[in-house]
Amino acid sequence: MGWWFFTRSAIEALTRPSADVDACDRAAEELARGSLIGGAVHHASTVMRDAWADSRARAAVISIARDLTPAPAASALRVRGWIAAVSGATILGLDAVKPVPVGPLAWLLPSLALAAGLLTMLMAAPLARAADHRRDGDKVISR
């Protein structure tokens, strides 16, 4: 099979012209930016990027994201556990008021999510320590 790979590679090298990919990309970008539609799209994207950088919506999104993912690992685990617990409780509540029953075991998965969320909230500190220990590469202390 080595001769086949060599022959195929040699024929491809002889028949395929070499292309400067970076030059082709620059030429395509200049062509697109020089066109009427490309210039309008580039101008619109610049205006939107500048508006997004100074917008109140961006500040609100960053604030919410910062609150949902706090810096300490234990706090982040508590928030994620809270989200899972609330999701499970919401699904159980909605299934309870549903006019048509879903099925005999429809309660199982939301109950597991609720229990896992509560357990994660309770065990956040030990779980964070275990994750940090695992992330550090399970350093073994020799005696």
Same domain, residue pair 78 and 46 = no
- Secondary structure class of 7 (helix, strand, coil): helix
Query: Virtual CA dihedral for 98, 100, 105, 107, nearest 10 degrees?
Result: 0
The predicted-structure confidence for 39-69, as pLDDT tens digits, reads as follows: 888 899 999 999 888 889 888 888 887 777 6
C-alpha closest to that of 113 among 79, 92, 85: 85
Q: What pLDDT score does 138 carry? A: 56
Domain encompassing residue 96 = 69-135
Tell whether 31 is covered by a domain: yes
Same domain, residue pair 75 and 130 = yes
d(CA 25, CA 16): 19
The predicted-structure confidence for 69-100, as pLDDT tens digits, reads as follows: 666 888 888 989 999 999 999 999 998 888 88
Tell whether 119 is covered by a domain: yes
The predicted-structure confidence for 103-121, as pLDDT tens digits, reads as follows: 888 899 999 999 999 999 9
Q: Is the predicted pLDDT of residue 3 greater than 90, yes or no?
A: no
Tell whether 28 is covered by a domain: yes
Tell whether 61 is covered by a domain: no
Domains of the chain: total: 2
The DSSP-derived string for 14-64 is: HHSPP--HHHHHHHHHHHHHHSHHHHHHHHHHHHHHHHHHT-HHHHHHHHH
Same domain, residue pair 88 and 41 = no
Tell whether 5 is covered by a domain: no
Same domain, residue pair 49 and 78 = no
Same domain, residue pair 79 and 129 = yes
CB 121 within 8 A of CB 85: yes
Same domain, residue pair 82 and 129 = yes
Q: What pLDDT score does 143 carry? A: 44
Q: End-to-end CA distance of the chain: give it in Å, rounded.
A: 55
pTM exceeds 0.95 for this model: no
Q: What pLDDT score does 141 carry? A: 52
Tell whether 6 is covered by a domain: no
